[in-house]
Amino acid sequence: MNQRERMLAGLPYIPGRDGLQELYDACHQKIFRYNALSPDAEERDGLLRSILGKCGRIVTIMGPFYCDYGFNIEVGERFFANYNFTVLDVAKVSIGDNVLCAPNVSIYTASHPLHPESRNSGYECGISVSIGDNVWIGGNVVINPGVTVGDNAVIGAGSVVTRDIPDNMVAAGNPCRVLRAVSEADRDFYFKDRRFDVDDYREPWWERSRTDAAEA
């Protein structure tokens, strides 16, 4: 098993060998071009799709965006990441549908041995991260290697997520901890105790867009 195969298998590996440096460099050339493009550049979407391993039809990542390899990142439909989205994707990062990331969200799959002699050997590893559907991740959140964030979860700004977050939970803090469940009562509020003053908030925006287009 070569070093690339070991990396993808979650085993300790030596970076830069067996084609890994070439893959890393190629990704960073694309990232450099992507971050330098005008927001309305026609090639922006195509270049992003050539970086990511898999993505849905509607995907937006605001620049600057940073990752190691790109091909280990899979995102679903209607994914949005704000400025300074950083993904160390030496292992698989799987993100579901309808996920929102605020500015400065970082997802780390890369890790190093704790013991200095083992660490100085040059070996590192990657442990995959999974994020479910309908997740909202607040600004300056760090998601550490091996974490799973469940469907419909909300991660408060500034959190450092070191353990799995179950479905339908609001979690925050450093280290991040579950605060409470997301309930049906939350549906009618757009911020804390502020109720919606419109009637169409229960309809997904992409469905509403189809309705508006049909009526135009």
Active site residue 115: no
Burial grade of 83 (CB within 10 A; 0-12, 13-18, 19 or more): middle
Assess contact for 167 and 134: CB atoms under 8 A: no
Query: ω before 166 within 30° of 0 (cis)?
Result: no
Residue type at 208?
R
**Which sign does the torsion angle of CA 8, 110, 69, 61 carry?**
positive
Structure tokens that stand for 41 in this block: 């550049």
Nearest to 128 by CA among 6, 31, 9, 25: 9
Catalytic residue among 112, 113, 168, 178: 112
Residues with catalytic roles: 112
